[in-house]
């Protein structure tokens, strides 16, 4: 029964060991039997958290434009070990992340309407939701606005990306729960 549960789960999409363990526990499979089946699947390569993490990072970064921070959170939610997740995220370097942020901004900017300051805020917020650090988000939006029009370039020229990023970082630290 445990094997069938795992195979049905894996037929839908790749799963982590933790996800399969959760599915087995939900169906009342004992920890002993669960461990035995999962160990065997690990042994023969049916489940491989490292391969899952690498594929997840590549797919979600290129498909949804998610940054390392958002991807790390998703991997954690799926039960991927921190070290395994870090290794997979290490394949996504800062330059690639910045290029993706610029591409996302350029795509959104084509249909963006409104005053440059409102567009700036919306685009920075969009990148923040995707997990981009403030400095990367602000620089990507500033550069894209500067290239868009004379009015937007004038607005972008007034933005001090480093100062804004520092202020955002301080806000992040201030808003964290104590303890």
pLDDT in tens, 50-105: 999 999 999 999 899 999 999 999 999 999 999 999 999 998 888 999 999 999 99
d(CA 90, CA 20): 25
pLDDT at 148: 75
d(CA 136, CA 134): 6
d(CA 39, CA 112): 51
Rama region for 123: left / alpha / beta (φ>0; ψ in -120 to 50; rest): alpha
Distances (CA, A) of 129 to 1, 14, 66: 41, 25, 9
Chain segment 102-134, per-residue pLDDT in tens: 999 999 988 888 888 888 899 999 999 999 998
Q: Pull the structure tokens for residue 119.
A: 């567009």
Phi, psi of 68 (to 5 degrees): -55, -40
Are 157 and 149 spatial neighbours (Cβ–Cβ below 8 Å)? no
Mean pLDDT estimate for the chain:
86
Are 47 and 41 spatial neighbours (Cβ–Cβ below 8 Å)? yes
* Cα dihedral across residues 150, 154, 157, 159: positive or negative: negative
Phi, psi of 176 (to 5 degrees): -70, 145
d(CA 95, CA 93): 6
Under DSSP, is residue 79 helix (H, G, I), strand (E, B) or coil? coil
Q: Any idea which residue has 């959104």 for tokens?
A: 108
Is the pTM above the cut of 0.85? no
pLDDT at 177: 46
């Amino acid at each position: 029964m445990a094997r069938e549960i795992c195979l049905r789960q894996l037929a839908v999409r790749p799963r982590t060991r933790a996800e399969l363990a959760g599915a087995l526990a939900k169906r009342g499979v004992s920890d002993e039997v669960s461990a035995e089946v999962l160990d065997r699947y690990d042994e023969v390569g049916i489940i491989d958290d490292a391969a899952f993490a690498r594929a997840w990072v590549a797919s979600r970064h290129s498909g949804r434009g998610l940054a390392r921070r958002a991807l790390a959170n998703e991997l954690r939610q799926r039960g991927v070990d921190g070290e395994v997740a870090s290794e997979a995220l290490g394949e996504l370097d800062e330059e690639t992340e910045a290029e993706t942020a610029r591409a996302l901004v350029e795509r959104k900017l084509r249909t963006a309407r409104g005053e440059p300051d409102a567009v700036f805020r919306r685009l920075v917020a969009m990148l923040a939701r995707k997990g981009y650090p403030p400095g990367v988000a602000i620089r990507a939006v500033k550069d894209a606005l500067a290239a868009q029009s004379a009015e937007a370039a004038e607005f972008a020229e007034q933005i001090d990306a480093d100062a804004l990023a520092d202020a955002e970082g301080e806000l992040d630290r201030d808003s964290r729960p104590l303890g």
